[in-house]
Amino acid sequence: MNCYKLETGVSKVYKITTREDFEENIKGNKKYLCKGTDGYFRGLGICPLCDNPVRILSLYKKLENKRPYALHCKDGNDEKLVSFNHEKYIHCPYSNPSARQHFDKSIEKYPMTEFEKELCAAVKNNFDKIVRFILDKTDIYISKAFAKNLLEQFYLNFGFRNSETNFSNIPWIMLYCIGRFNLVGRGVKSGSSLWNYLRKRNDIKLSPFEYNHEYDRIESSTGKFIILEGCFYAHTQRIDGDDEVIEKIRFGVADSKDINKDWAYKRIYSIDITEFQNFCKEINYRNQELLDLAKDDIHL
């Protein structure tokens, strides 16, 4: 992998670059270093996606043709920061694909694992920032009712149990869990690509949106009932040859219930694994109303 964190939970994600940068980040803290049997140091960190310990190689002892990179420590040798946990490991896109298993979703039969509880706790403690992140990244206004729906569907559809869910993609998985939703009456970000598409449709009118002046309300231009539904779907995750997580999700707009009709509008979002956690760390924003919603809806 090409990123690491220094702390568990929703925490700053660093790209693996040079030894100098690594030492800049760890600020002389020896717990992030261990000496190998060959006498060279290795860097220690935390996997940004599954919170397992990682070893950062090719920083001190240059490995041939290898720029610095990290690997999960599964052998129990480098667990100074945190212990290895297999449950968490199978949620990680960097895990060996054969380690991933099919989850049985029955919560009664299989109570939440520790990692699933940690993901739910991350939602609970950061829900205001999750909503803010979704507002930033997508073109749709998230009302309080929509936010409540995000929480409920994440919980009911076991978003936390999806083997692809990790600390970096929680907001996207929440969107993925809601399925199709009505766009009529919702706010669309002025000037966005979705807004530009809707503006050109004769059957739709964009009116001032009372909750936020950066958005316009999507309405039927004739006053007649219209079908216009959005959906986040086809979430995919893989590792490319450069050890980069390639993660994507599609957003489609349907203007008919006909399953054979193509999406009327489609957009593909690329998910950058450093973005969400760094956003949470950097943004100075709290919204108690949203945090209270999460406190009521996420049962741990």
Binding site for Zn ion (CB under 5 A): 47, 49-50, 92, 94
- Note the helical H segments in 47-98: 86-89
Tell me whether residue 56 or residue 231 sits nearer to Zn ion (CB atom).
Answer: 56
Tell me whether residue 72 or residue 132 sits nearer to Zn ion (CB atom).
Answer: 72
Least distance (Å) between residue 7 CB and Zn ion: 15
DSSP class of residue 156 equals H
Least distance (Å) between residue 49 CB and Zn ion: 5
Tell me whether residue 186 or residue 235 sits nearer to Zn ion (CB atom).
Answer: 235
Least distance (Å) between residue 120 CB and Zn ion: 18
Helices (H) and strands (E) in the chain, counts: 8, 13
Least distance (Å) between residue 256 CB and Zn ion: 41
Least distance (Å) between residue 51 CB and Zn ion: 7
Q: Strand 245-254's sheet: what is its strand order? A: 181-182, 229-239, 245-254, 265-271
Contact 49, 166 (CB under 8 A): yes
In angstroms, the CA 184 to CA 206 distance is 10
Tell me whether residue 65 or residue 98 sits nearer to Zn ion (CB atom).
Answer: 98
Tell me whether residue 49 or residue 178 sits nearer to Zn ion (CB atom).
Answer: 49
The phi and psi torsions of 235 (rounded to 5 degrees) equal -75, 130
Tell me whether residue 90 or residue 206 sits nearer to Zn ion (CB atom).
Answer: 90
Q: Quick one: which of 86, 89, 2 has its CA closest to 45? A: 2
Tell me whether residue 47 or residue 135 sits nearer to Zn ion (CB atom).
Answer: 47
Least distance (Å) between residue 164 CB and Zn ion: 12
Q: Which long-range contacts (CB under 8 A, 24 or more apart) does 252-256 make?
A: 253/183, 253/194, 253/197, 253/228, 253/229, 254/180, 254/227, 254/228, 254/229, 254/230, 255/226, 255/227, 255/228, 256/227
C-alpha distances in Å from residue 103, one per residue of 52, 219, 288: 20, 41, 34
Least distance (Å) between residue 52 CB and Zn ion: 5
